[in-house]
Amino acid sequence: MHLTLRQLKVFETVAQHLSFTRAAEAMHLTQPAVSMQVKQLEENAGLALFEQVGRKIYLTEAGEEMSHYSHIITQQLSELDDVLEELKGNKRGRLNIAVASTANYFVTRLIGAFSERVEHLTVNLDVTNRKGLIRDLERNDVDLVIMGQPPDHIELVAERFMENPLVVIAASDNPLAGRENIPLAALQGETFVMREAASGTRAAMERFFTEQDVHLNAGMEMRSNEAVQQAVQAGLGLGIVSIHTLELELETNRLVILDVESFPIMRQWYIVHLEGKRLSPVVQGFKEFIINESRDIWRLPNKAYLGNISNE
């Protein structure tokens, strides 16, 4: 059935007044114009919507159904107007974002802080590795991505917002714990627990040690930061992780950061979206919030004592 919102509005007014004349007056139209709109709607419906008995008109059974659904449509359009106005004022919106698994340690806290500024915020959060993030970008499946080094084969808008230091961790009873300025060469005899090959952290550490001409002994491979940390706590080797993942472990002294020469490996966090992508007011607001305020809300663990790691 083909109908117009104009026809529905005229019909609803006639149904309300049960009079073509009063409906025309209410809508500031001529009576023939009102009659024409109702006639076209009836032709589209294939059924009579009004019947006249004497000098009065009544809704037919089809007219009752049309009135019911017309009222629902009108209500929904009114709600749509309200939602769009709220969107313009950042009162309502949806965040569809993907983040690196390492970033999830602080992103959820940032989302919580941002949600206090938006009355009705819906969040769809995909936590995945670098391969998954690139796939999300290529398919345009998300509004924003929070990741380490952005890929260079996709046209993107990428802005740095926070440092991401990678540090060497060990169990608190490891013989290297407490030593100062441990040379890189000393690490060649140690076993390392590593992230999977698709991880940005894994790629960064391998690139760093290749540049330093240092060979690492990979003992185990894990698919999450939690698994790496648990293996290190169990004495299965050393690990290299983002300092952002260590807040609880450092506070409870389950793990320690080793003072290793040339560490930390300094990386950056980026907030990324496809070039030309139209961001809703709420998504744009979240992006600006991340860029301008994230470092004030999420600060590095207090026990990050290495001199070239800063909260500033």
Q: How far apart are CA 117 and CA 285, in angstroms?
A: 10
What is residue 263's DSSP assignment? P
With CA atoms as reference, report the closest residue to 62 among 36, 43, 35, 37: 43
Q: How far apart are CA 53 and CA 200, in angstroms?
A: 77
- List the beta strands (DSSP E) in the chain: 50-53, 56-59, 92-100, 120-128, 144-147, 156-171, 191-195, 217-222, 238-242, 255-257, 265-274
Contact in structure between 229 and 257 (CB atoms under 8 Å): no
To the nearest 10°, report the CA torsion of 145, 148, 153, 155.
40
The CA R_g of the chain, rounded to the nearest whole Å, is 31
Q: How far apart are CA 33 and CA 87, in angstroms?
A: 36
User: Which pLDDT score, from 0 to 100, does residue 302 have?
Assistant: 52
**To 10 degrees, what angle do helices 31-45 and 20-27 make?**
110
Q: If you classify domain 164-266 with CATH, what class do you get?
A: alpha beta
For the chain, the domains span 5-88, 92-161+268-297, 164-266
Read off the tokens for 264. Answer: 């930390």
Three-state DSSP at 160 gives strand
Per-residue pLDDT tens over the stretch 78-137: 767 766 766 666 667 788 999 998 898 899 999 999 998 887 888 999 999 889 999 999
Report the share of the chain in percent with pLDDT over 70: 92
CATH of domain 92-161+268-297: 3.40.190.10
164-266 has the same fold as 5-88 = no
CATH 3.70.10.10 corresponds to the domain 5-88: no
The average pLDDT across 177-199 equals 88
pTM: 0.67
Residue 59 has pLDDT above 90, yes or no: yes
Beta strand 255-257 with 156-171: parallel, antiparallel or unpaired? antiparallel
Per-residue pLDDT tens over the stretch 198-242: 788 888 888 998 898 888 888 888 888 889 999 999 999 999 999
